[in-house]
Structure 1
């Protein structure tokens, strides 16, 4: 297969995608040494047989025709493990809507948590994929025949897999479960790269105005520097160093160099003066600069830890009963919140998740359900209370 390398050929291919019910999409990219992902190849296939590899590194090529396809809300965009692909296209101004992620769909269909693409194809289509070219250098040109064959196969099989998987979910009444997850996946806030919001991806350990002001300032400085230099955040400054800088709030080179989390001699490096200036600016008026952080309300129930462990067992049992990955129903964080608050603001207590697990989780907390080991399987049984006990309560 010869990849598309001109805007004219790309426009002609995209014309073949117009009017199609869906298009399967995949990308090959590299970002090990960069902040911004380097898009090296785009693969696309539609049910009418149109399929192609698009070379975004070809001199002079304009990706606009394909980006318009991604923006076309009449065409379903199908990915597997879509988050990083969505990030790339969102950066290009083309959030793919509507979206269908076959990895998440596989979780709802009972194929386990975060099932790999080749495993899903093997189980659903009975095809073994050759993944030998997966970790090759996709930025080098020309691409080999093996690379292109591997790349196009991903979307060819994805286009076959999608209708089968979607049909299975529709039959089971679970398509709405996946659509709810898709809305979260295309939330622009998930891909926000505004430096002033960088602190939100981290976990501050304190909440005082002085700490949070410096925490926000250092996180923003690191984000801007990483973007400008196109380097990974961690190569500029580690997360632990941000917390230590916020806690100590150094205002001179000697104080900064005494910090364990900051690289030796950092204050005298090309980064030092700018970082110091950012800290001093935040300290000019910490109350005004510090973000407002709403702390989660907990009742610090001493038995909450034990309740969480019981909820984990219940979640596993109910997930097995429903034939769905437990991660799709609730996270450990959700369980911790439920253990402390019957009205916790978590997805596990709303919608289909409440039906599958949440209602029983609250019953378990009230002692209305019990977990019984039946051989190697956990059963959930109702607890019948004695009349006198029930009346007393």
Structure 2
């Protein structure tokens, strides 16, 4: 397996490399990016490998046309393998205008194969590739040129070890018959909507303090205004207004520059300038809009009294099933799902659908209705069938 340490900086060279990968079964992909001072991630390096060769691509190189890479990422015949793919896919979706496909996320695949919740790349490298990752270059300045050989070698490791990880995880999935499980999870990553944040939905990233109409309306207006300003200026949204200040404005809507200036975290210059004027206008427009256009947030239904012990039993059953089937708990159900199952046999949760229902959901309902019991046998917990 060849790994050329010299970065690709010319379009013709990139086209030749991508053409050589266009007939392979898969490519492994990773990026190095910076986001500390921008709204959009600044891509500084792209790592790409096939089964037999690996290179890094310098997207900052003058005159480099990235279209040969984008064509490869669009090629339906070549599987694109990432680890913890979401941020990388967000980057490529913005650059290409579409999501690369088809996809394989080794972190999700590892969860399906029983390596636990959100297993790290370093852990998979150690367990499946029998190697160690040198972390010393992780927080270097990837935008600075020229890149050092140490940086390039570190970056290449993110795709060269990933080949072995993919091959072993894929073999496990094939052997266990769980390929379709992974396909269900990849569908979410392949959906362009996953990477779209409409300004009017930006408030959903926050944790509203109440479900009152005016509070949510102002929260939506301020969060949307902040999102648009951050995008237009290409700076982090927290540089416009911090989250806690957004929440404070929603709780106590300002009507004037004086009101804004009294808000913690906002300066007099902000309050009296264009930013303050724009923010006040956004709040006023929202409060003047029809109330039936204001966002709503349903309260979490109160759980029936005395349901706590049943939820605890479901937690034990969940762990038992995950250990028995060698799958990460997070992939089957979370605490909120268990609460809902305990309260409602027809709860709209993934654990009562598809393969998750077969593995866990059906027995969760049987446990709930006294058809199954949990019993200790020494240090083990086992399921006991109960006769009705």
Q: For structure 2, which runs of at least 5 residues remain unmatched after alignment?
A: none
Q: What does 1:361-376 correspond to in 2, within 5 Å?
A: 361-376=364-379
| Structure 1 residue 305: Cα displacement | 3.4
Is the contact between residue 86 and residue 96 of structure 1 (CA under 8 Å) also seen in structure 2? yes
Is the contact between residue 68 and residue 94 of structure 1 (CA under 8 Å) also seen in structure 2? no
Question: Secondary structure in 2 aligned to 1:295?
Answer: coil
Q: Does 1:239 align with 2:243?
A: yes
Distance 1:258 1:21, change over 3 A: same
User: Which residue number in structure 2 is paired with residue 345 of structure 1?
Assistant: 348
Q: Does 1:104 align with 2:101?
A: no
User: Which residue number in structure 1 is paired with residue 26 of structure 2?
Assistant: 22
Q: What does 1:124-163 correspond to in 2, within 5 Å?
A: 124-163=128-167
User: Which residue number in structure 1 is paired with residue 311 of structure 2?
Assistant: 308
Q: Of 205, 211, 217, which residue of structure 1 is paired with 2:215?
A: 211
User: Which residue number in structure 2 is paired with residue 381 of structure 1?
Assistant: 384
Q: For structure 1, which runs of at least 5 residues remain unmatched after alignment?
A: 385-389
Is the contact between residue 28 and residue 40 of structure 1 (CA under 8 Å) also seen in structure 2? yes
Distance 1:286 1:255, change over 3 A: farther
| Structure 1 residue 46: Cα displacement | 1.0
Is the contact between residue 103 and residue 186 of structure 2 (CA under 8 Å) also seen in structure 1? yes
Is the contact between residue 303 and residue 339 of structure 2 (CA under 8 Å) also seen in structure 1? no
User: Which residue number in structure 2 is paired with residue 76 of structure 1?
Assistant: 79
Using structure 2 for the length normalisation, give the TM-score: 0.92
| Structure 1 residue 269: Cα displacement | 5.4
The whole-number CA distance in structure 1 between the counterparts of 2:98 and 2:57 is 16
The whole-number CA distance in structure 2 between the counterparts of 1:304 and 1:282 is 41
CA RMSD of aligned residues (A): 2.0
Question: Secondary structure in 2 aligned to 1:271?
Answer: helix
Is the contact between residue 49 and residue 55 of structure 2 (CA under 8 Å) also seen in structure 1? yes
User: Which residue number in structure 1 is paired with residue 40 of structure 2?
Assistant: 36
User: Which residue number in structure 2 is paired with residue 331 of structure 1?
Assistant: 334
Q: Does 1:120 align with 2:134?
A: no
| Structure 1 residue 299: Cα displacement | 5.6
The whole-number CA distance in structure 2 between the counterparts of 1:339 and 1:171 is 34
Is the contact between residue 29 and residue 40 of structure 1 (CA under 8 Å) also seen in structure 2? yes
Is the contact between residue 209 and residue 286 of structure 1 (CA under 8 Å) also seen in structure 2? no
The whole-number CA distance in structure 2 between the counterparts of 1:300 and 1:309 is 14
Question: Secondary structure in 1 aligned to 2:29?
Answer: strand
